[in-house]
Structure 1
Amino acid sequence: MVAGIPSDTARRDGRRNTVDARRDPAHTDVLFIGAHPDDESSNLSTFGQWHEDLGWRTGVVTVTRGEGGGNAVGLDEGPELGLIRETEERTATAFAGIENIYYLDKPDFWYTLSAPLTARIWDEQDTMARLVRLVRLTTPHTIVVMDPRPFNQHGGHQFSARLGIEAFRLAGDPNAFPGQLADEGLAPWQPSRLLAQNYRFDSLLGPEAPEQQRTDPDTGLPVIGVWSGVRSRVHNTTWAQVERDAARLYLTQGFAAMPARVPSDARQLGSDWFTVLAEDGRFIEATVHRQTGLKPLYAEFAAWADRVGLPWLANRVQPDYPPNPSTTIPAVAIAPVVNAVEGPGEYPGPELPLAVWQGGGGCAATAKLARHNDDLYVLVAVTDDRRGAELAADDIKRHWRTDSVEIALDPRGDSDDTSTTFKTGILPYSATGGPAAERDADNHQGSALSGMRVAAVVTEPYRGYTVEVKIPLTELPAAVDPDRFAMNILVYDSDTDDKTGQTRLAWSPFGSAQADPYVWGTAKLADYRQPVIAPTGMPPVIPQTAARSADSSASLAQARRTGVPIAGGPRPRSAR
């Protein structure tokens, strides 16, 4: 076996594609399909090894340019940020010998766990057509996708993987997108191998770990590993170190905060792990273990897996959720004063402890709740040992880069994703004083909620802060169900000035606690009656402005060099 590839496969595909590469500048041996710039960053050691040892070229498809993400190095956002992230991706992947990155110009929006929501925003059929076209144009023998399974995973990652899995099958089908064959002169192309990222085995270190046969415990499919401790002849260091040097170039995402050096002890170096979904152009079969009582998001995934012929991908797909916490929000006769100070009788209900959800210590927090008429009041007290970066008041997006509070509300307690919820991120302090707040990753990204009020008190010398918020229930995305009202309260802690977080706390800390409404606790509203005029359900407003390949000099130059149109679009007649 060579770097995770059976020796006969390496000989067969390597020999065939060396000839292809000489004929066609668009040809790539391996095609990685991701959602955002940096999604390939954890596999650069593998792609570098394959390039150096086998002569295989890897190309990358990145569906979006990540313009909906945060920016740790400046205030650029939207399309401007997307073009910056393209430059980061091209610079970093060059360490692994990657020359071609194909962007599909789809919009990146906020962090969601929903592949169905992502499919609607990306226009599933259009994106699929572009991806199938790219597979047919680049003729890879191996496709690598992200993990398609839904739990605790970005919806964009899930859906890019689904697209890649379907494109693996459809690109070789002459009946799929026949216009590409008849009108553009393309030919069907069936890749041989399909791999999916698998992070279940990351704790296995040392060169012996990938030498053992392994099986994914959920799907039952085989898993291969590629050890990062192999030394690169070109870079004169381990591929683990090459990958780290490359990853630190994704500056906008805070990756520069990673330690500059990886361990020098080979026994402390890990592997890249991949589930083998297909070999020799055919899906690998495994035993199907059906689950019953699936929540809607997981049932949708199981239906998709059945439809594409991989039902075992849905084995044990829904985790064992812990019991949701619950509380009762008391009604108070006098409205609390929003001043970040708990006055007598303002919060008579129980104190809610916030537990560590991710990261280490150095931070603790509690929350209290109250209701006066149609207004919800939330008081969050945070004990902290180190002040984080001070963001500008207009740089709140992705507030988890520094010390902040997040409040998430599901008015009817029946949401499958956050597009039907209210979420707000609150900075207790900012570069201009503070506090500052903005809606984030919810029914109306960035839009201020009418009537919402925020106050914060920060201790001097710094030992933490208190945040108090008034939220009008009548302004939420849907009418409140007082018995099923659900929420989560989260605290993000940063102990550095580089806009990267270290610790996260939550009232209900499980999975992606900020984005999974299935996790949130029930907070019954005592004695609450919905007003006669109440919201009936507001359609989500989601940012859909994407960076364009037409505005990227690097993408335009690549198209001229390879003959592959920008954004996976149709080939012009002159190229047919």
Structure 2
Amino acid sequence: MALALTLAATPGTALAAPAAQAERPRDAVDLDVLFVSAHPDDEASSLATLGQWKEKHGVKAGVVTITRGEGGGNAIGLEEGPPLGIIREREERTAIGRAGVEHLYNLDRVDFWYTASAPLSEQIWGHDETLAQIVRIIRTTRPEIIMTMNPSPTPGNHGNHQQAARFAAEAFHAAADPKAFPEQLHQEGLSLFRPAKFLRTGGTGTSSTGPGCATSFRPTVPTDQVFGIWEGTPSASGKTWAEIEVDARRDYVTQGWANTAAAPTNPANMRCDFYTLVDSRVPYDPTDTSPEAILRGSVLPSVKGGLRRGTELYLTTDRFDVAPGQTIEVTAHVRSAADQTIEVPRVALRAPDGWTVRTVTGVGASVPAGKVRKAVFSVTVPEGADTGVQKLLTATLTTKGQGTGTTDEAVRVVADVRGTLEALPEVGLFRTWAAEGGYGQLDTLIKPVLTVGSGGSREVTVDLRNHGTTPQSGTVTLGLPEGFTADAATKSYTDLAAGATGAVTFTVTNSDDTLPTANEGGVNGDYDLTITTTSSTGSTVETGALEIVPTTEIPHAGHNHAVDGVASEGEYPGEELDFSRIWEGQAVTPADASAKGRIAWTQDALKVFVEVTDDVLGRKVVPQDCKRQRRTDSIEIIVDPKGNSSDTSTVFKAGIFPITDDPANGNPPCWQRDADNRQGPGEQTAPGMQVVSKVSEPYTGYTIEASIPFDVLPDAVDPQRMGFNVLVYDSDTQDLSSQSRLGWSTFTGVRADPYRYGLATLPGYTPPQREPSAPVFPDTAARSVHSPQTLAQSALDGVAPAAVRKLPAGALTVTGVRTVSGGIEVTVSADRRGTAYLYAWDGDTSRGSRSVDLRTDRPVNVLIPVDGGNPARVLAAFEAGNGSGALAQQVIVRR
């Protein structure tokens, strides 16, 4: 923290901004790179890159963190909610400071829980207001490069991460759009800004480790432009950047990262940080594998012979999907730098072999300084071209002695009629978002999958789209793996109009119920299938997969049932279930960690019995810390009443610790609800739920028996299709971190993916009529006006706390700041109603605080009590009462 704020107060060493950036607010920091994330620690895997850029090129980076991570665990204390968020902010400032990152922007959104749902994240955060905050930061700090995470719903990808990345993508365009948040331009004095490049972390493909990792990368999709930065580069401190990144990760002690494994010492084992280019307004060289390749043409000048920094060259197409024989319109956009007229520009467009390119209009005789000119091309895909592939169109701009540059754009060649496996609801929403935003290439991140119960059947729909110009009829053939059958191998469609969509539906059965289920089945859980679609112009093949989830029949409990931690004979007449499959973390032997159990029902409750074998008991939590069960030895019982939830806000999840650190009361178990329809202590959120735990002595494991009343579930159970899962967390340490995660229906990230839970039937059970329960979400986040760390930065870099509208400096006046007996005395006044937040600040820690409500032009004398230290400054924040904005100031204390 001290490092970050000290650096923030010192003039940076970043390269001078190009002339086009001269309109930034006078008191605002000028950033080069902005990383947009959801939580503290999301940026951790990029710190080796940001640190190298800072040290070698003076690149000034900032991080946007939408939440302060209040929904995460706490391995070092009992704080949760806003107090935990303030702690995690300090951890993040310390961590990013190791890479020379001095600017952290928190948006004060609530971190509600781990979810795989971007739509749920957007719903809770609010779309327009959150996007406006990010756009305001970009327009204020004017970074040339925007970086973020993976925006797609790939398995296990946190929904908060997805939505943060989607906000970043939208902000990349919105910051340059005069129609987006015009009040920032007309009322706040900000100017449009056009970031040069937009990248996501990671790359889909393979590479080796070692110094050649950047050049060895082979993308799965050949049109992806992936850049690598090796972590083995030594820093000025003598440590490699891989070591510094590990040091930074260890700063996140609340998340159990204090014991992060040391970085490799052998250079051959050190990896690259990879980044995939999603959008670029400036030319770039995809063959450049240097650590600064991403920076060229935006933060750094282009290589010798390249165009002046600030010159834009990019392509747009009238559509992403194009069929053989069709023609698309391709536009090359050329924007000159603000201080240079481009003389004699020429744009040439190169297409794949066999494609026809015709120039419709040229770019003109010159491009005046700061202006845009366009060249338009007509590109025709040859008849008979391969389909189901992406191809690059490459434009080259040449000038009269002012350099050259290239750029490219991907298009996808599809059949006249394309048949694809139906999308899961959130996958479909993502594809729509990507297509509407001009990011159709991101569709390749997601493999189409559907689940089916072991030995069961389901409808499988193939979605059809006619990309051609005439009506089409044809067939769809489903190529299923062994162990699956369909009601027909081939089905027909007729008279699908040009541009129209349609569908054919098969009933698919897992005919071999001995096939392994969950992630043990197929290849990493996927049983691959093919979809062959024919039309009058030929045929095309698309791929997808089926995933088998385990199934069970839950019987009525035996007449002598009791919740006593013992499965007596006849209590659980159903089959024994195996809960021992690993889904995340370290592999284990059965003696190290394994589990089995049984389920039954009575008219009023679901009965669950779990027996866990375990060799080491992880740290026992105190009763006040009965939350976040994944941190130590525990089990999680999940019920999706209707078996159709799209996210966990409509499911029941109970986390049960078999033992607590409470010797006065016999170290009893405890339970709570987490990341579901209603979270909190079990006694409050699941009244009537019973839990009995028996822990063996000497320790070899534990058994848990639970009775879950049906009326605490979010909805009435569908006895023909109830989603169900049991997950087991195994910890062999005392640092509140689990090493292995096991369960019944097991896939990466499964605890947040209801469609991958197992399926259960309850023969003979008749549910009562009832309305579903509305989800209850956490609604309290740490706020920037309560964070002296944030205020100290805000007072220096020109961005208001929480990136809200910045009030004029005269909105708050702080005078008479002096040391008196008992603390620091100040006089505060405001030109409008609102609240002032005052902190006695020693440069690292608040030594005392006060808040006071202010009325227009009415000074108030305030005594800030001081508890130790020698605070040299008062941090003052003011938040207007009508929500119209905020500001922060630093004032020196007179002795």
Q: TM-score range by the shorter chain?
A: over 0.9
SS of structure 2 residue aligned to 1:246: helix
Determine the C-alpha separation between the residues in 2 that align with 1:556 and 1:202: 43
1:195 equivalent to 2:430? Answer: no
1:196 partner SS: strand
Quote the offset at 1:575 in angstroms. 8.5
Provide the residue aligned with 2:678 in structure 1: 444
Alpha-carbon offset, residue 316 of structure 1 = 5.3
More helix by share: 1
Partner of 1:561: 796
Aligned to 1:238: 240
In structure 2, do the counterparts of structure 1 residues 314 and 435 end up closer, same or farther at CA, with 3 Å as the change threshold? same
The letter of the residue matching 2:140 is: L
Shift of 1:287: 3.8
Of 650, 654, 666, the residue aligned with 1:424 is 654
Identify which of structures 1 and 2 has the higher relative contact order when contacts are C-alpha pairs closer than 8 Å and 6+ apart.
1
> Cα deviations across residues 242-262 of structure 1 (Å, max 9, x unaligned)?
111111011100110212x31
Residue in structure 2 matched with residue 8 of structure 1 by the alignment: none
* AA partner of residue 463 (structure 1): T
Matching residue's letter, 1:356: I
Q: Where does residue 808 of structure 2 map in the other structure?
A: 573
Quote the residue 1:9 is aligned against.
none
Quick check: 1:491 aligned with 2:765? no
State whether residues 27 and 798 of structure 2, in contact with CA within 8 Å, keep that contact through their aligned partners in structure 1.
no
Contact 1:214 1:224 in 2 (8 A): no
**Residues 642 and 721 of structure 2 are in contact (CA less than 8 Å); yes or no, is this contact kept in structure 1?**
yes
List per-residue Cα deviations over 1:45-81 (Å, max 9, x = no partner).
Answer: 0000010111101100000100111100000001000
* C-alpha separation in 2, matches of 1:442 and 1:242: 37
2:116 equivalent to 1:117: no
| Structure-to-structure mapping, 1:366-377, within 5 angstroms | 366-377=596-607
Change (3 A) 1:547 1:203: farther
TM-score with structure 2 length normalisation?
0.61
Whole-angstrom distance in 1 between the partners of 2:802 and 2:436: 27
How far residue 286 of structure 1 moved from its aligned partner, in angstroms, is 2.8
Please report how far the alpha carbon of residue 212 of structure 1 lies from its aligned counterpart in structure 2 after TM superposition. 3.8
Number of residue-to-residue matches in the alignment:
559
**Is the 1:67–1:78 Cα contact (8 Å) retained in structure 2?**
yes
Residue 170 of structure 1 and its aligned partner are, at CA, apart by 0.6
Contact 2:207 2:216 in 1 (8 A): no
Task: Tell me by how many angstroms 1:511 deviates.
Answer: 2.2
Name the residue aligned to 2:432.
303
1:131-166 deviations in Å (ceiling 9; x for gaps): 101000010000101110112111111100000010
Q: How does 1:159-558 map to 2 (within 5 A)?
A: 159-198=163-202, 200=204, 204-212=208-216, 214-217=218-221, 220-233=223-236, 235-259=237-261, 261-280=262-281, 285-288=409-412, 291-315=420-444, 317=446, 318-319=448-449, 320-334=545-559, 336-354=561-579, 355-359=581-585, 360-361=587-588, 362-432=592-662, 433-446=667-680, 447-531=684-768, 534-558=769-793
Corresponding letter in the other structure for 1:64: T
Mapped contact 1:330–1:370 kept (Cα < 8 A): yes
**Cα shift at 1:14:** 5.0
CA contact (8 A) 1:203 1:270 kept: no
Q: Extract structure 1 runs of 4+ deviating beyond 6 A.
A: 18-23
Q: In percent, how many aligned pairs have the same letter? A: 44
Instruction: Tell me, in whole angstroms, the C-alpha distance in 2 between the residues paired with 1:479 and 1:251.
Output: 41
Distance 1:250 1:316, change over 3 A: closer
**Higher normalized strand content (fraction of residues):** 2
Shift of 1:546: 0.4
In the alignment, structure 1 residue 44 sits paired with structure 2 residue 279: no
CA distance, structure 1, for counterparts of residue 136 and residue 203 of structure 2: 29
Q: Is the 8 A contact 1:487 1:520 kept in 2?
A: yes
Q: Secondary structure at the match of 1:186?
A: coil
Q: Are the aligned partners of 1:135 and 1:171 in contact in 2 as well (CA < 8 Å)?
A: yes
State the AA in 2 paired with 1:215: P
Q: Distance in 2 between matches of 1:552 and 1:32?
A: 21
Structure 1 pair 27–216 and aligned structure 2 pair: CA distance change class (3 A): farther
Q: CA deviation at 1:557?
A: 1.2
* CA contact 1:456–1:468 (8 Å) conserved in 2: yes
Deviation of 1:204 after TM superposition, in Å, equals 3.4
| Cα drift, residue 22 of structure 1 | 12
Match of residue 151 from structure 2: 148
Q: Which has the larger radius of gyration?
A: 2
Letter in 1 for 2:715: A
1:148–1:159 CA contact under 8 A, matched in 2: yes
State the shift of 1:336 in Å. Answer: 2.1
Distance 2:253 2:697 in 1: 32
> C-alpha distance in 2, partners of 1:222/1:384?
46
Distance in structure 2 (CA, Å) of the matches to 1:150 and 1:356: 22
Q: Residue 25 of structure 2 contacts residue 140 of structure 2 at CA under 8 Å; is this kept in 1? A: no
Structure 1, 304-313 or 174-183: larger mean CA deviation:
304-313
Offset, 1:202: 8.0
309-318 or 338-347: which moved more? 309-318
> What TM-score do you get using the length of structure 1 for normalisation?
0.93
CA shift, 1:200, in A, is: 4.5
Q: Is the 8 A contact 1:411 1:477 kept in 2?
A: yes
**How many angstroms apart in 1 are the aligned matches of 2:623 and 2:751?**
22
Asked if 2 retains the 8 angstrom alpha-carbon contact of 1:474 and 1:535, the reply is no
State the alpha-carbon separation in 2 of the partners of residues 95 and 32 from structure 1.
Answer: 16
- 1:512 to 1:203, Cα distance in 2 relative to 1, 3 A: farther
The 1:63–1:486 alpha-carbon spacing in structure 2 relative to 1, beyond 3 Å, is same
Query: Which residue identity lines up with residue 572 of structure 1 in the other structure?
Result: L
Offset at 1:315?
2.5
- The SS at the match of 1:32 is strand
After superposition, the C-alpha distances for 1:75-129 in whole angstroms (9 at most, x for unaligned) are 0001000000000000111110011100000001111110100111101110001
Correspondent of 2:162 among 158, 162, 170? 158
Q: Distance in 1 between matches of 2:781 and 2:741?
A: 30
* 1:126-145 superposed matches below 5 A: 126-145=129-148
CA offset at residue 396 of structure 1? 2.1
Q: Which residue of 2 aligns with 1:7?
A: none
The amino acid across from 1:542 in the alignment is F
Distance 1:122 1:39, change over 3 A: same
Amino acid at match of 2:627: K
Which residue type is aligned with residue 490 of structure 1? L
Distance 1:570 1:278 in 2: 28
Relative distance call for 1:50 and 1:372 in structure 2 (3 A) is same
Q: Distance in 2 between matches of 1:76 and 1:181?
A: 40
Which residue does 2:345 correspond to in 1?
none
